[in-house]
Structure 1
Amino acid sequence: MRPSEITKLLAGADDAGLFSAADALTRQNFGLEIYLRGIIEFSNHCANNCRYCGLRRANRGLARYRMDVDDILVATALAGEVSIGTVVLQSGDDFAYSKEDIGRIVTGAKASSGVAVTLSLGDRPAADLDYWRSCGADRYLLKMETFDEALYARSRPGLTVADRLGRIETLRAAGYEVGSGIITDLPGMTLDILARDLLRLAELDLDMIAAGPFVPHPDTPYGAEAAGSVLIALRAMAILRLLNPLANIPSTSALSALREGAREQGLTVGANVIMPSLTPETVSAAYNIYPGKNAFRADAASRVEAARAAIRRVGRLPSTAVGGSKRRRRHG
């Protein structure tokens, strides 16, 4: 698709056709199965000052926490107990954890539960990334948010598109399944910018891709900006599916933060992954990237069961599989 064609679809030129085609392609490659990834958000400290994120360094109103390694391992063990095939270890860019700390968590999670381990820890040095891969880490998520250089520089002060892209290539070279994503309706983003972002994301030929809507956080410089459109985010997800038939695509929690039931709807327009939180209830509310994140106040097992119920409500089947990259298997 050309950028102009994508822009028209983002503007609503053919929602019925777009959503139907994306759903059909998802069913063709994944059947009715939806993979579950259990997220453990183990620290809300962050060295960065992104203008859209509630974890930003300058947010003095946020109660900060760090889980210790043993408590993180207890949370990873829960994945096996609730039959989830993948754990996602996520934090802000928090360098208080050494590469050995993270390595111990990776090896412990794989030994106790036999899960696939995805890391989402931000911009770490290549030596750390290589070390964690040698410890058994399977995947790494590193969001771009946007490829537009001016918008990126404004939204992520002091950081550059080129550096982020370079780290994605480092991850690929290290042997990870690599994931990235964008924020739709990020303040300053036009439909033309979003169309180009979707094409750039697809051109990276990644194992996992995501598009989630902007949700304003009151304690950030973007707090007074308008929330993103759920419909545009759903269109973006569907377009990503058409451009990336074999990629794993999550239906993000940001959708449900803006509209009840929107995350379930995402499973019918191209998504094949949902990611319930396994973060302990004692700290989960403080992982406050945006309002509504981890709003469901319950123990982790109940959150997982709620996710499975949501999957069934839209006629899909919760999977217990690891859910590895079909794109990688197809390409050898």
Structure 2
Amino acid sequence: MTRTELAAILARPELSDADIVALLGLTDPEDCRMLKEAAFNRTTELMGPYVYYRGLIELSNICTANCRYCGIRKANHAVERYTMTQEEIVEQAVWAARQGYGSVCLQAGERHDEKFIEFICACLREIHVKTKSPLLPNGVGVTLSLGDQPESVYRRWAEACGNPESLRYLARFETSNPELFQMLHSTPGRNEKNLEHRLECLRSLRRAGYQVGTGVMIGIPGQTLEDLCRDIRMFQEIDVDMIGMGPYLRSEGNDLEALGQMEPKALLQLALNMIAVTRLVLGPVNIAAATALQAIRDDGREMGIEYGCNVVMPNLSPQRFRKGYQLYDNKPCLDDEPTQCASCLEKRIQSRGREVGWNMSGSSRRYLRRIGRPNEVKPAKDYTPDGRRLIRLRAI
């Protein structure tokens, strides 16, 4: 493909499947630069200049599922299991709100017992009450990533949240290829997963009022560019509000070690291409720069921002729990406290031509349009004499 042909594809308002496959397969540095520039500009046009924080709280690594690729799968008996207390979870959410984060993400292994379900309800109720302020009158926005659940459970959590217009759920379908999905989840027994069931969970989340988030793994052994194209079409079919996706990385605790992993440089470029093409096709959705990008290259998250991401998820989990929540090998920032992550991440974001959306929930423009709500206001940032961040808002 010539540069003229590539420029013509990037200028099209809609991309064909053949266009998508061609863009995903780009490897020449100049071609990739052209794709990156198109995606960055499209993000600015549709989403503005801001990158939104989702303060990540990995509240428990206890999991009843046995997904073969995952480091905290039930069958990995080498993992020391933990569950944070309600007080610890709420404390991190309150810290995030005071630091100007507009949103937090509660993530854990998958459980279905009533004790766990009600525990999440209690955490959500307290977070809602304790993070309210003049700047966040409804408290922080909340993203949940707690696996497949019945719709009745999704509704209980939505009610407990108390902030329905800033409530999100991330449930990645990982791949739209049924054979690859089966390979990733083919452990016999009651822990086996089903692609259609995962898609029905996403439909349940929409009915329950959530902003619907999903995503895939990129570079799964046996995956083709055509598979990734179908993943993007699946995003369109679901009409998602947000996307979280990243490279397929090996894990010591998984059951797929023999299948290997793509060469890191090629894997990173493929993941970045997938982000950029998804932005060009899906338009005004939120796309997270996965921490897994940073596991390949130190500035991987920043590269994700350049290729079209507008969300990052700083890890707020207390340091003592982090080594127990490794879904893949070489997870970064295991030894950093939340204050360390926050202090360096803003500079990294600014180095790529973006600003942090302080004290903004950061709902996707697609979702805001769907419910007829205007875009959020523009944040202005200042500091108190003792160096504590003070966040104000001014209308635009």
Aligned-pair identity (%): 34
TM-score, with structure 1 as normaliser: 0.96
Which residue number in structure 2 is paired with residue 5 of structure 1? 19
Structure 2 Cα separation of the partners of residues 211 and 282 of structure 1 = 26
Structure 2 counterpart of 1:130: 155
Give the match for residue 109 of structure 1.
Answer: 127
Instruction: Supply the distance in 2 between the matched residues of 1:18 and 1:297 (Cα, whole angstroms).
Output: 35
Which whole-Å CA distance do the structure 2 matches of 1:46 and 1:74 have between them? Answer: 23
**Within 2, Cα distance between the matches of 1:126 and 1:9?**
37
AA aligned to 2:291 is S
Residue 315 of structure 2 is aligned to residue 277 of structure 1 = yes
Instruction: Indicate the residue corresponding to 1:241 in structure 2.
Output: 279
Of 361, 367, 380, which residue of structure 2 is paired with 1:322? 361
- d(CA) in 1 for partners of 2:317, 2:80: 16
Distance 1:236 1:178 in 2: 19
Given residue 301 of structure 1, which amino acid in structure 2 is its aligned partner? Answer: T
1:157-196 equivalences under 5 Å are: 157=186, 158-196=192-230
Q: Could you tell me how far apart the structure 2 residues matched to 1:79 and 1:134 are?
A: 22
**Which residue is 1:147 aligned to?**
176
Select the residue among 10, 18, 32 that pairs with 2:49: 32
Q: Decide whether the 8 Å contact of 1:146 with 1:152 is kept in 2.
A: yes
Alignment partners' CA distance in 2, 1:93 and 1:210: 18
Q: Tell me, what secondary structure is at the counterpart of 1:88?
A: strand
Task: Give the superposition deviation at 1:296.
Answer: 4.2
Q: Which runs of 5+ in 1 are unaligned?
A: none
Shift of 1:199: 1.7
1:67 aligns with 2:84: yes
CA contact under 8 A between 1:73 and 1:109: conserved in structure 2?
A: yes
C-alpha displacement at 1:47, in angstroms? 1.0
Aligned to 2:136: none
Within 2, Cα distance between the matches of 1:110 and 1:260? 34
Q: Using the TM superposition, give the Cα deviation of residue 81 of structure 1 relative to its aligned residue in structure 2, in angstroms.
A: 2.3
What SS does the corresponding residue of 1:144 show, helix, strand or coil? coil
Structure 1: how far apart are the matches of 2:291 and 2:275?
A: 13
State the SS of the aligned residue for 2:40: helix
The answer to whether 1:207 aligns with 2:241 is: yes
Deviation at 1:287, TM superposition (A): 0.6
1:251 is matched with: 289
Deviation at 1:306, TM superposition (A): 2.1
Q: Aligned with 2:285: secondary structure? A: coil
Runs of 4+ in 1 over 4 A off after TM superposition: none
Report the count of equivalent residues. 332
1:294: Cα distance to partner?
4.3
Q: Kindly provide the CA deviation profile for residues 58-90 of structure 1, in whole angstroms up to 9, marking residues without a partner as x.
A: 111111111122221112111112211101000
Query: Once the 2 structures are TM-superposed, how far is the Cα of residue 16 of structure 1 from its aligned partner?
Result: 2.9
Root-mean-square deviation (Å): 1.5
Q: Which SS does the other structure have where 2:353 is aligned?
A: coil
Aligned residue identity for 1:127: S
Residue number in structure 1 paired with 2:394? none
Preserved contact between residue 47 and residue 56 of structure 1 (Cα < 8 Å): yes
Q: Work out whether 1:220 is the aligned partner of 2:254.
A: yes
* CA distance in 2 between partners of 1:185 and 1:3 (Å): 19
Contact (CA 8 Å) 1:118, 1:139: kept in 2 or not?
yes
8 Å Cα contact 2:24-2:270 kept in structure 1: yes
Distance in 2 separating the partners of 1:71 and 1:250: 25
Indicate if the aligned counterparts of 1:43 and 1:94 stay in contact, CA closer than 8 A.
no
Question: Are the equivalent residues in 2 in contact too, given 1:274–1:307 (CA < 8 A)?
Answer: no
Residue deviations 1:261-318 (CA, integer Å, cap 9, x gap): 1110110111001110110111012111011224341211221222212112212111
Mapped partners of 2:78, 2:181: distance in 1: 25
The question of 1:78 aligning with 2:95 is answered: yes
Whether the aligned pair in 1 keeps the contact of 2:322 and 2:334 (CA below 8 Å) is no
Q: d(CA) in 2 for partners of 1:98 and 1:58? A: 20
CA distance in 1, matches of 2:208, 2:59: 24
Q: How big is the shift at 1:99?
A: 2.2
Q: Counterparts of 1:61 and 1:98 in 2: how far apart (Å)?
A: 23
TM-score normalised by structure 2 residue count: 0.81
Amino acid at match of 2:309: A
In 2, are the aligned partners of 1:187 and 1:222 still within 8 Å (CA)? Answer: no
Q: Which structure has the greater CA radius of gyration?
A: 2
Q: Residue in 2 aligned with 1:197?
A: 231
Residues 169 and 210, structure 2, Cα contact 8 Å, conserved in 1: yes
Counterpart residue number, 1:286:
324
Equivalent-residue separation in structure 2 for 1:246 and 1:292 (angstroms): 32
Gaps of 5+ in 2: 1-14, 132-138, 187-191, 373-396
Aligned letter for 1:80? A
